[in-house]
Amino acid sequence: MSIKIDRLNKYFGDFRALQDISLDIPEGRLTALLGPSGSGKTTLLRIIAGLESATQGRILFGDRDVSQVPVKDRNVGFVFQHYALFRNMTVADNIAFGLESMPARSRPPKAEIRKSVERLLEMIQLPHLAKRYPAQLSGGQKQRVALARALATRPDILLLDEPFGALDARVRKDLRRWLRSLHDEFHFTSVFVTHDQEEALELSDQVVVMSQGQIEQVDAPTRLYARPGSRFVFDFLGHVN
């Protein structure tokens, strides 16, 4: 599912957090929103998700204007920096949660949910941890469970907010590689927020460089390097925190 953002503005009181954002996010690709802290990345992601509403402008999923559609009807999956797993539920129950909480008329039968969970556990290579609780997992394992949970309901769009930000460098590298291969296999449309340029360049098909609520540049990672006169990439490093 492609995403089109059309002349979006977001004000918090008098503060204009997003200024005339227009952007095409192609279907089946990984798009990074890259920029320093406070540049508006999370706000844009939350508006795409429907967790926050725009002050002006439209969001389209494919041909459908979803600007007024609530989050539960947008068919998006989320992964946050701090996992947001349910502490009192096992890994398997966390993954099943999205399916179990579907309205009765669309909810798959119990046996099918169990099968889906098994498949997802295989996919994240953690079938042996199905009965553990989040507190018994490492950070990297928790984030893999969070990803499986986000994918359980087969969202059209996967949104990730600094998904590897809380992990140490080695785990982060593994998870990046792993997200990339998962993505190449399943072809969901993903948008992820990061202030880590290396991560954006390594993981994504398209990088959207943001600064002070505006888009500075949109390009393939390889072209960001090549572009003469770009304010990106290395200048930009200076004010990333």
Query: Closer to ligand ADP at the Cβ: 33 or 129?
Result: 33
Closest distance between ligand ADP and the C-beta of residue 235, in Å?
Answer: 17
Angle, helices 139-151/91-100, rounded to nearest 10 degrees:
20
Closest distance between ligand ADP and the C-beta of residue 239, in Å?
Answer: 12
Question: Which distant-in-sequence residues (6+ apart) come within 8 Å of 141 by Cβ?
Answer: 126, 129
Q: Report which of 196, 185, 193, 194 is spatially closest to residue 237, judged by C-alpha positions.
A: 196
Closest distance between ligand ADP and the C-beta of residue 148, in Å?
Answer: 25
Closest distance between ligand ADP and the C-beta of residue 103, in Å?
Answer: 30
Query: Closer to ligand ADP at the Cβ: 112 or 198?
Result: 198
Give the largest CA-CA distance in the chain: 58
Question: According to CB under 6 A, which residues from 21 to 60 bind ligand ADP?
Answer: 35, 37-43
Which residue among 12, 86, 186, 234 contacts ligand ADP (CB under 6 A)? 12
CA dist., res. 187 & res. 198, Å (int): 22
Closest distance between ligand ADP and the C-beta of residue 132, in Å?
Answer: 32
Order across the sheet with 64-65: list the strands: 15-25, 3-12, 56-61, 64-65
165 makes contact with ligand ADP (CB under 6 A): no
Query: Closer to ligand ADP at the Cβ: 51 or 130?
Result: 51
Closest distance between ligand ADP and the C-beta of residue 222, in Å?
Answer: 24
Q: Report which of 188, 143, 137, 181 is spatially closest to residue 161, judged by C-alpha positions.
A: 143
Closest distance between ligand ADP and the C-beta of residue 240, in Å?
Answer: 10
Query: Closer to ligand ADP at the Cβ: 19 or 230?
Result: 19
Q: How many residues bind ligand ADP (CB under 6 A)?
A: 11
Query: Closer to ligand ADP at the Cβ: 103 or 238?
Result: 238
Query: Closer to ligand ADP at the Cβ: 37 or 138?
Result: 37
Query: Closer to ligand ADP at the Cβ: 149 or 195?
Result: 195
Tokens 């926050």, residue located? 52
> What is the identity of the amino acid at 147?
L
CA distances from 153 to 47, 54, 60, 72, 98 (A): 20, 26, 21, 12, 6
Task: Give the binding site for ligand ADP (CB under 6 A).
Answer: 12, 15, 17, 35, 37-43
